[in-house]
Each structure stands twice: as structure tokens, then as C-alpha cells.
């Protein structure tokens, strides 16, 4: 009477699991080194490294130590890297451009860990869920792990009602633990976003929260820290606008866009890291070009390019700036030269359609 679901088991034949990990787990640096040596696409490595760092910072906050001192126990094996990198690879293979999720199920009970008996959700999980919407679930057992929480925080565009879309496929992934009253499965629904089709165009609409604050008393060097904190909290974009306030005082309006589910976290980043006493929040509707990513070959190496489409054709291309910087440094040329080469390669893609 249950649900048919797929369970995936990964076997690492050359990995001595018990001897090393059973003693004290792996450190963030050890896992990062394993990731660095893995044969993965750069964008997969980048995303996995970012989530691994978020896990380390959550554990560090819970235990009152520096992130570099953290030793993972329950999430300290290769399975963590498989979960994080595998999720990014799967989304890429499926062509997923945006991830949405429902509110996080908050169960109850306790779990046995290397630190003893801890309440559910685990402290690191709660740390990672800060600012995200939850829903109470009357179930004795762990329904969200730290790894699951970091995937939600990093990947989900918003947590709440699903977007308007056409369902294309549905899949179920099975967990190992059996719950008496609830199937232990994760459902993934793949869909096509609802689009406006006026004159053959296909535009995507969604809602975001604009957060802003006027600052006339903060040293300029602190703005970078505020922006970094806002991005770390889940902001989609952060920008500054020069303004004049009362009595013609020069000031800066600091603004950010955030998914509705992360607006509280970005607001807190503003309040904690700037001199403002309050922020303004406005719900905005965005109209976006459908996007996809492509990898182009240049004389300096491979570059990821974001492509914007309208009416079924590519109308804009944006090379990944950081990749251009890295390639320019290695080749001893300017970033502008690498950038131009990537744009030319993207133009060839457009003309070939």
C-alpha cells in the first residue's frame, strides 16, 4: 500500500570508510580537497564547494568554533559530496533552470549523534533553516538532515506554493528509514513554466521581495560586507544607488532582491551588518527571459555562457565573468579579450539555430 520509489546506492570501492571516519569524521578541508580532485564540471565543483562551506559554517555556529576546526560526523563521508554534487548534476542533466520547494516539514523526536542525543531537527539543520518557512509535522523522526537543508537553502528559488506550470514528469526518491504513518520519499515534479505567448514571445513571471535602506552614516568600506552577507542569506541581486536625503545630505540607498522565502534572512543581513534602523520591503513582479546555460570553446578554454531566449531564439548572451577572469590570468591576456571570445562563440551558437 506504499508508494513505488527509487533508491540510489553509491558504492566507493577504493574508500576506506570505517577506519578514518569512524574516529573523528572528516574536516571541511579534507572534504574540500577530495572535491578539488574530483573529475567534475567547474560549475558543479563551485556549487558543491559553496554548499560544503555553508554546512561547515552551520556546524561552527552550533559548536562555537571556527569553520576550519569543524569535523563532520554524520555528514562527514563521501555520501555528503555525492548528495551535493549529484543534485547539481541531476538538475543540469534535466535542464532545470529554477527550483521551487514547499515549506520544510518540522518533525519532532531525538537522534543519536557523535555529540550525544540531540533534538530533531538537528542543531545544524535548524541553523541552515534560519529565515526559511517551515510547517509542523507530527512525526517522531528526522525528516530534514543538514545536507537536505543546505540543498534547499542553496538551490530553492522560493519555498511556498508551487509556480504555475505544466507538469512534464514526476519522480519519487526513497529514503532508507521506514515511518509508520508516512512514506519516506521525496517527490520531484518537473514542469514547464507558464509563459506569455504574445507575438511568439515566451516570458516568465515570478514574485520577489525588494528590500532597501537609506544609509548616510556608514563608512564606505562596510558596504562590501553588507552585500556579501545579503548574498550569503539568499539575495538574488544587491545594488547601491547614490541619493540625497533631507538637508541635501549625500547618502546611499542599498537594495536587494530576494525570493519571498528568503526575504527575512536578507532583511536580517541588512539589519545586522549595516547602520540602518529599519528597511523597506515591497513585493515585486519580475518578467524574465527564459534562460539556459551553454559551454562554448574559445582559444583560451571553455567558458559557461548564460543565454536569454525570446520567441524561441537567443537574444542575449552573458559569459560567466569569474571563468573569464581565471582564463585571462592563466593565458596572460586581458579579461576583455576572453570575454569577447566567449561572446563570439555564443554568437556562433545563435546563428546556428
Structural domains of the chain ordered from first start = 17-193 (no CATH), 204-288 (3.30.70.1380), 291-352 (3.10.20.300)
Output the pLDDT for position 319: 93
Q: Are 245 and 198 in contact (CB under 8 A)?
A: no
Query: Of 300 and 311, which is predicted with more confidence?
Result: 300
pTM, full prediction:
0.57
Output the pLDDT for position 21: 43
pLDDT, one tens digit per residue, over 301-336 is 999 998 888 877 888 999 999 999 999 999 999 999
Percentage, residues of the chain above pLDDT 70: 90
C-alpha R_g of the chain: 22
2-6, 275-279, 347-351: least confidently modelled range? 347-351
Output the pLDDT for position 65: 75
Output the pLDDT for position 74: 53
Q: Are 155 and 99 in contact (CB under 8 A)?
A: yes
State mean pLDDT over 73-96.
Answer: 84
Of 17, 165, 186, 2, residue with least CA distance to 90: 186
Query: Of 353 and 322, which is predicted with more confidence?
Result: 322
**Integer CA distances (angstroms), 300 to 70, 270, 317, 336, 343, in order:** 38, 39, 18, 12, 13
Taking the alpha carbons of 173, 177, 180, 182 in that order, is the dihedral positive or negative? negative
User: Which residue has 569512524 as its cell numbers?
Assistant: 22
pLDDT, one tens digit per residue, over 256-297 is 999 887 888 899 999 999 999 999 999 888 888 887 888 899
Amino acid at each position: 500500500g506504499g508508494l513505488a520509489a527509487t533508491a540510489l546506492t553509491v558504492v566507493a570501492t577504493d574508500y576506506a570508510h570505517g577506519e578514518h571516519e569512524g574516529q573523528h569524521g572528516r574536516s571541511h578541508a579534507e572534504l574540500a580537497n577530495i572535491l578539488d580532485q574530483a573529475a567534475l564540471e567547474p560549475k558543479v565543483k563551485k556549487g558543491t564547494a559553496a554548499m560544503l562551506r555553508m554546512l561547515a559554517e552551520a556546524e561552527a555556529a552550533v559548536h562555537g568554533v571556527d569553520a576550519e576546526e569543524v569535523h563532520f560526523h554524520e555528514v562527514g563521508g563521501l555520501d555528503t559530496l555525492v548528495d551535493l554534487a549529484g543534485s547539481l548534476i541531476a538538475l543540469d542533466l534535466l535542464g532545470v533552470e529554477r527550483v521551487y520547494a514547499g515549506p520544510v516539514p518540522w518533525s519532532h523526536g531525538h537522534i543519536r549523534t557523535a555529540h550525544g542525543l540531540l533534538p530533531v531537527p538537528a542543531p545544524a539543520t535548524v541553523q541552515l533553516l534560519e529565515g526559511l518557512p517551515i510547517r509542523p509535522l507530527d512525526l517522531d523522526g528526522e525528516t530534514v538532515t543538514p545536507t537536505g537543508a543546505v540543498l534547499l537553502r542553496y538551490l530553492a528559488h522560493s519555498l511556498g506554493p508551487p509556480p504555475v506550470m505544466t507538469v512534464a514528469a514526476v519522480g519519487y526518491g526513497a529514503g532508507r528509514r521506514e515511518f509508520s504513518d508516512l512514506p519516506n520519499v521525496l517527490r520531484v515534479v518537473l514542469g514547464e513554466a507558464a509563459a506569455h505567448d504574445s507575438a511568439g514571445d515566451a516570458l516568465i513571471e515570478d514574485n520577489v521581495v525588494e528590500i532597501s535602506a537609506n544609509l548616510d552614516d556608514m563608512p564606505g568600506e562596510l558596504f562590501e560586507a553588507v552585500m556579501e552577507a545579503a548574498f550569503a542569506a539568499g539575495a538574488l541581486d544587491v545594488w547601491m544607488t547614490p541619493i540625497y536625503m533631507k538637508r541635501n545630505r549625500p547618502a546611499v540607498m542599498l537594495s536587494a532582491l530576494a525570493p519571498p522565502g528568503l526575504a527575512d534572512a536578507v532583511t536580517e543581513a541588512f539589519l545586522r551588518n549595516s547602520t540602518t534602523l529599519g528597511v523597506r520591503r515591497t513585493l515585486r513582479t519580475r518578467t524574465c527571459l527564459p534562460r539556459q546555460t551553454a559551454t562554448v570553446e574559445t582559444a583560451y578554454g571553455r567558458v559557461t555562457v548564460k543565454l536569454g531566449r525570446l520567441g524561441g531564439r537567443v537574444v542575449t548572451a552573458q559569459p560567466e565573468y569569474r571563468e573569464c577572469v581565471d582564463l585571462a590570468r592563466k593565458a596572460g591576456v586581458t579579461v576583455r579579450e576572453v570575454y569577447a571570445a566567449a561572446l563570439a562563440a555564443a554568437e556562433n551558437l545563435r546563428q546556428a539555430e
